[in-house]
């Protein structure tokens, strides 16, 4: 199917914003995230956006389409292409931070959470040891 997207682009060097239009061919099953990947691969390698799971779980691909908040990996583009609409995409996340803050802090990763939990229990037992040692010295 023939698709078109208008994407707000930001130039960090000059601070300028510009609405740029991309036209491309996409499969009928394509989501907004698939379309963005096509644009990045075939037309504009400087396009940057967040993504991770592609299964509507992590929320990394959250962005705005025509002013509404959407998950790019959930949003099917077939109906939009049939209507001939050209959606405007914005708020795609910081290009310099493709993993997003949630990923860095590991808040949705079970492994990192366990590590954090273990660390805090070690800190707690160290505090208990210090307290018990202090009480022996004073008593």
Smaller CB separation from ligand FES, 6 or 98: 98
Among 3, 7, 26, 61, binds ligand FES (CB under 6 A): 61
Min. distance of Cβ 123 from ligand FES in angstroms?
32
**Can you read off the two tokens belonging to residue 87?**
């959606």
Min. distance of Cβ 62 from ligand FES in angstroms?
7
In terms of residues, how long is the chain? 139
Kindly state the DSSP code that residue 12 receives in the 8-state scheme.
Answer: T
- Which x/- pattern over 3-42 shows residues binding ligand FES (rule: CB under 6 A)? ----------------------------------------
**In the chain, alpha helices (H):** 32-42, 78-83, 100-105, 110-138
Long-range contacts of 128-131 (CB under 8 A, 24+ apart): none
Which residues sit at the interface with ligand FES, rule CB under 6 A? 51-54, 56-61, 71, 73
């Amino acid at each position: 199917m023939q698709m078109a997207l208008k994407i707000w682009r930001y130039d960090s060097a000059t601070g300028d914003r510009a609405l740029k239009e991309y036209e491309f061919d996409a499969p009928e099953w394509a989501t907004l995230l698939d379309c963005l990947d096509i644009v990045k691969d075939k037309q504009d390698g400087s396009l940057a956006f967040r993504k991770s799971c592609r299964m509507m779980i992590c929320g990394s691909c959250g962005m705005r389409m025509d002013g509404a908040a959407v998950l790019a990996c959930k949003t099917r583009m077939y109906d939009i292409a049939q209507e001939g609409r050209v959606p405007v995409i914005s708020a795609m996340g910081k290009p310099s931070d493709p993993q997003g803050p949630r990923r860095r802090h590991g808040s949705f990763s079970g492994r990192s959470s366990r590590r954090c939990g273990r660390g805090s229990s070690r800190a707690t037992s160290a505090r208990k040891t210090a307290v018990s040692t202090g009480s022996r010295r004073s008593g």
